[in-house]
Amino acid sequence: MARIVMKFGGTSVADMDRIRNVARHVKREVDAGHEVAVVVSAMSGKTNELVAWTRDASPMHDAREYDAVVASGEQVTSGLLALALQNIGINARSWQGWQIPIKTDNAHGAARILEIDGSELIRRFGEGQVAVVAGFQGLGPDNRIATLGRGGSDTSAVAIAAAIKADRCDIYTDVDGVYTTDPRIEPKAKRLKKIAFEEMLEMASLGAKVLQVRSVELAMVFKVRTFVRSSFEDPDAPGMGDFLNPPGTLICDEEEILEQEVVTGIAYAKDEAQISLRRLADRPGVSAAIFGPLAEAHINVDMIVQNISEDGSKTDMTFTVPSGDVDKALKVLNDQKDKVGFDVIQNESGLVKVSVIGIGMRSHAGVAASAFKALAEKGINIKAITTSEIKISILIDGAYAELAVRTLHSVYGLDKS
């Protein structure tokens, strides 16, 4: 007997037939004698609809009321799945975040889980009950529903797995694992059998939305064995209940991966924007005067490039922010104009950041150079570059996103099995 968490994303619970299919996956594990907690997302498209309603009601909406609205999608699917399970003879009960409780911080709309009391769930496992938990939500210190940011049900699942000391966390989604790049962009992408926590963390934070970044962080810290697999396989096909047997990807320690490739995957993030401050004073304190106020306004600054100044007194500073934050950033910067002393601000939206990721890069030179050469051969202009020991990120015009992903995917031989 094992204790397992099974998480099902939006497409996996998109309608009643799919919810019944999920119930069969759960029944298979229960029949095998396991203790099961299920975490569900809202039906696909539902959260977008709810978000749009809050914007319609009030563009500068109160984040607490936003949370009250958007958390409702998961309330519906958790109840429906509990009913579908009961209907096939499984003792199941739904749980909202506040009932467990899953305690979070006060950052409504992007809250972090602080603590989960798993004792009642564990007590009920002893009575043979399956827990169906609404993902994406918890209870803030103000006693109000708090949501965990888009894609947050992955994080709910891994956090619950850690809290109840589950043997593993299975993430069921609409692809049968983590691929070398988004299979919707590059059909030649290959499924990875295993991927190291650190690489998955980079893939997720650089745009691969198959797992929320925070869920990977938690899996790494709490050593949760996390397996990404498809909910669309026949739940009762032979071997479906055997761990690591069905097609899927295990997120694991780097030591568990015997043959480490130099490059593991390519990720991309759309809707990036670049802001340039021209001819600003080249003296101590200027960067602090720019990026301090942007951070206080909760604007996530990413790639930063500062030119060397020609005459030692003036320089240019260029950085990226999410497209949706450009107007806010421009306002913050213009408010700082006296302190920063720039001549003009320029900005460009609709850019995309394409990243090459792999732990093997630590010990290989020339990985970046091959990327630059390949993009040049396709006539793709590079606007900014950042690197770390296990990734290279390149900013380009959004129109070239797919071409760049496919080009890099092929340059590193990722489309060959």
Residue 175, binding choice from ligand ADP, Mg ion, ligand ASP, none, Cβ under 5 to 8 Å by partner class: ligand ADP
Q: Is 97 in the site for Mg ion (CB under 5 A)?
A: no
- Would you count residue 151 as binding ligand ADP (CB under 6 A)? yes
81: nearest Cα among 143, 51, 36: 36
Footprint of Mg ion on 151-180 (CB under 5 A):
151
Interface size with ligand ADP, residues (CB under 6 A): 20
Query: Measured from the CB atom, is 97 or 152 closer to ligand ADP?
Result: 152
Helix (H, G, I), strand (E, B) or coil at 342: coil
Q: What x/- string results for residues 5 through 24 when contact with Mg ion is judged by CB under 5 A?
A: ----x---------------
- Is 291 one of the annotated binding-site residues? no
Q: Alpha helix (H) ranges present in 88-196?
A: 119-126, 153-163
**Closer residue to ligand ASP (CB): 135 or 248:** 135
The tokens of 174 are what? 């609409």
**Residue 171 near residue 159, CB atoms below 8 Å:** no
Q: Could you tell me if 360 and 260 are in contact, meaning their C-beta atoms sit under 8 angstroms apart?
A: yes
Give CA separation, 18 vs 26, 73, 218, in Å.
12, 16, 28
Which residue of 6, 19, 34, 41 would you call a contact of ligand ADP, by CB under 6 A? 41
The Cα 143–Cα 4 span in angstroms is 29
Residue 184 interacts with which of ligand ADP, Mg ion, ligand ASP, none, CB < 5 to 8 Å by class: ligand ADP
CB of 405 vs ligand ADP, minimal distance in Å: 10
The verdict on 298 binding ligand ADP (CB under 6 A) reads no
Residues 216-275 contacting ligand ADP, CB under 6 A:
265
Question: Of 257, 172, 184, which is closest to residue 409 (Cα–Cα)?
Answer: 184
Instruction: For residue 133, count other CB atoms closer than 10 A to its CB.
Output: 28
Rg (CA), the chain: 23
CB 108 within 8 A of CB 66: yes
109 appears as a binding residue in the annotation? no
User: Which of these, 353, 284, 274, lies nearest to 318 by C-alpha position?
Assistant: 274
Residues in touch with ligand ASP (CB under 6 A): 9-10, 41-42, 47, 73, 135-136, 150-154
Q: Which is nearer to ligand ADP, 29 or 170 (CB)?
A: 170
Q: Does residue 207 interact with Mg ion by CB under 5 A?
A: no
Cα dist from 126 to 34, 35, 372, whole Å: 11, 8, 58
Closer to ligand ADP by CB, 173 or 320: give it.
173
Of the candidates 155, 113, 111, the one whose C-alpha atom is nearest the C-alpha of residue 135 is 155
Shortest Cβ distance from residue 41 to ligand ASP (Å)?
Answer: 3
- Say how many C-beta atoms besides its own lie within 10 A of residue 149's C-beta: 15
Residues 374 to 393 in contact with Mg ion, rule: CB under 5 A:
none
173 is in an annotated binding site: yes
d(CA 243, CA 55): 43
Residue 285 one-letter amino acid: G
Q: Is 209 marked as binding a ligand?
A: yes
- The answer to whether 179 is a known ligand-binding residue is yes
8 is in an annotated binding site: yes
Residue 73 binds: one of ligand ASP, ligand ADP, Mg ion, none (C-beta under 5 to 8 A by kind): ligand ASP
Nearer to ligand ADP, 95 or 268 (CB): 268
Chain residue whose CB lies nearest ligand ADP:
9
- Give the interface segment with ligand ADP, choosing from 9-17, 125-133, 237-245, 318-326 (CB under 6 A): 9-17
Of 182, 153, 119, 198, the residue nearest 404 (C-alpha): 182
Q: Which of 94, 137, 173, 318 binds ligand ADP (CB under 6 A)?
A: 173
Report whether 4 contacts 168 (CB < 8 A).
yes
Q: Considering only CA atoms, which of 70, 79, 82, 78 is closest in space to residue 45? A: 70
Residues of the shown chain interacting with ligand ADP in the complex, contacts defined by CB under 6 A = 9-12, 41, 151, 173-175, 178-179, 181-184, 203, 208-210, 265
Residues of the shown chain interacting with Mg ion in the complex, contacts defined by CB under 5 A = 9, 151
Query: Binding site residues for ATP, as ranges?
Result: 7-10, 173-174, 179, 184, 209-210
